[in-house]
Amino acid sequence: MDLVLLIGAIIISLLIFTFLLRVAKAAIGTAFLIALIFFGAQILLGVGPDELWQQTLGLWDNIWRSISGGR
């Protein structure tokens, strides 16, 4: 009985570890892509971090206004 529980626990642990590893890979890849876009905008377009941040906030404000009906 204990051996079955141990094997089951190991299998579940491996499945959870594999899932978390995939999530971490996706998060790191996305963060790298966002950083690449921001640095590219800074270098190619001469846009500073403050301007990028303000535009990002403005984008979310526009999306929220569209969803909530302009309130």
Per residue in 37-71, pLDDT (tens digit) is: 888 988 998 888 888 889 889 998 999 889 988 66
Whether this model's pTM surpasses 0.85: no
pLDDT of 5 over the 90 cut: yes
- Where in the chain are the domains? 2-68
Average pLDDT over residues 21-40: 94
The CA distance from 26 to 13, in Å, is 20
Average pLDDT over residues 10-35: 97
| pLDDT score at 71 | 61
pLDDT > 90 in the chain, percent: 54
